[in-house]
Structure 1
């Protein structure tokens, strides 16, 4: 199960790293034009903050355990990303963006599995 949790954490880290860098490097208008219509409901600063949270969460999923420095940060990062995905699901439901709900829900479940595994029976 330890290997499974590492694989899930790696996939999550890649997904959130990409999403976070995209939100941090592009303008709100460019993100909206590329299909992220939800950005219209948030300020540019809020979109950047979400991107920063995703980027830090991605780093927190891998680096603390890899370097064996404060590995308790791994389940904390996974919990933070799970909470972020709950927020994403809520936003997509309110906006009626039904196709965007499933990816957010899958990322939530995977983040929750990593948080459960690393807080519980497969802690470092």
Structure 2
């Protein structure tokens, strides 16, 4: 189970560290080609999502690695399930029907949460 957790958590952490950093630092114009939904949300919300994603990525890795509050990994993984569950309607209501990545991320975050429990 430990190896499976680190594989799943590592993949999620890498994805969210990258995506969150982009959302936190890039302008709307530079995000638009990758994330069509950024036009429908205020930039402070997009930035906040990015910060949450970076913190969640750290929460998946650092607590189990250090042994300090390892329960935070479960919270981070569950948070990513909720984040992606909320992202799916945003994509669908905006006419962007590409939700396959969101579904994969929900499943991977759910698996990670189960492995962290």
Write the distance in 1 (CA, Å) between the matches of 2:68 and 2:38.
Answer: 35
Give the aligned CA root-mean-square deviation in angstroms: 1.0
Structure 1 residue 116 and structure 2 residue 114: aligned?
Answer: yes
Q: Which residue of 1 aligns with 2:67?
A: 68
* 1:9-56 deviation line (CA, Å, top 9, x unaligned): 000000000000000110123211x23110111001000000001000
| Correspondence 1:1-124 to 2 at 5 A | 1-32=1-32, 34-99=33-98, 101-119=99-117
Runs of 4+ displaced beyond 2 Å: none
TM-score normalised by L of structure 2: 0.95
Kindly tell me the number of residue pairs found equivalent between the two proteins: 117
TM-score normalised by L of structure 1: 0.90
* Structure 1 unaligned blocks of 5 or more: 120-124
* Structure 2 unaligned blocks of 5 or more: none
SS at match of 2:57: helix
Write the distance in 2 (CA, Å) between the matches of 1:90 and 1:58.
Answer: 23
Write the distance in 2 (CA, Å) between the matches of 1:44 and 1:55.
Answer: 17
